[in-house]
Amino acid sequence: MQSKIFNVPNTLSLVRVFLAPLVLLFLSLRIETPMPFLPDVSWGEAIAAIVFIIASITDFFDGYIARRDKLVTTLGKFIDPLADKVLVISAMLALIELNRVPAWIVMVIITREFVVTGLRLVAAAEGVVIAASKGGKLKTVCQIIALIMLILNIPYGMLIMWVAMILTVWSGMDYLIKGSKIITG
């Protein structure tokens, strides 16, 4: 029998939080030895990408398992979005240092996350739950694909990051429009 707090979905979210620094570590170690079958990718980048992919997969499974097994908890509602943001922002910060993504794009994305999180906090204080929108989920998937491509130095990774940024702004505006009654309340 599982604890209500320490269940599989919450554990997966916590794992994602603890994997985020590993992505930073492997990207910052500058293990420059190229991989034999991917000469433009170092071992550090490959390991960082694998850790990032594993962490990203936990995001799908924690939500799926929580809904399927009715294991949605207050801790899960808090830790899941936090884990997502820690993972994505960690990867983006490392990519700024590697000159693969401009800092201003990362700042736009981080600002949107703060705005939407703040809106959700205000809504929660009013007893209103603002669920993740399809646009928000699409932006997350696009960000993850872009980050994997940028970590692995895959061509067109920056193009996908531009798409992710546009989706980020669009979904953020969507949340603000839908939540405007709560803000102006």
Does residue 2 fall inside a structural domain? no
How far apart CA 162 and CA 83 sit, in angstroms, is: 23
Does residue 170 fall inside a structural domain? yes
Half-sphere exposure of 45 (CA within 13 A, CB side): 20
Give the residue among 135, 141, 146 at the shortest CA–CA distance from 169. Answer: 135
pTM given for the model = 0.89
How far apart CA 118 and CA 32 sit, in angstroms, is: 40
Q: Encode the chain (185 residues) as per-residue pLDDT tens digits.
A: 455 678 999 999 999 999 999 999 999 887 777 778 777 888 889 999 999 999 999 988 998 898 898 888 878 878 888 899 999 999 999 999 999 999 999 999 999 999 998 888 888 778 777 777 888 889 999 999 999 999 999 999 999 999 999 999 999 999 888 888 777 76
For the chain, what is the domain count?
1
Does residue 1 fall inside a structural domain? no
- Rounded-to-10 torsion of CA 70, 71, 76, 80: -70
Does residue 101 fall inside a structural domain? yes
Does residue 3 fall inside a structural domain? no
Structural domain boundaries, residue 42: 8-184
Q: Which residues pair with 42 in a beta bridge?
A: 34
Structure tokens at 129: 């739950």
Q: What is the CATH number of the domain that holds 12?
A: 1.20.120.1760
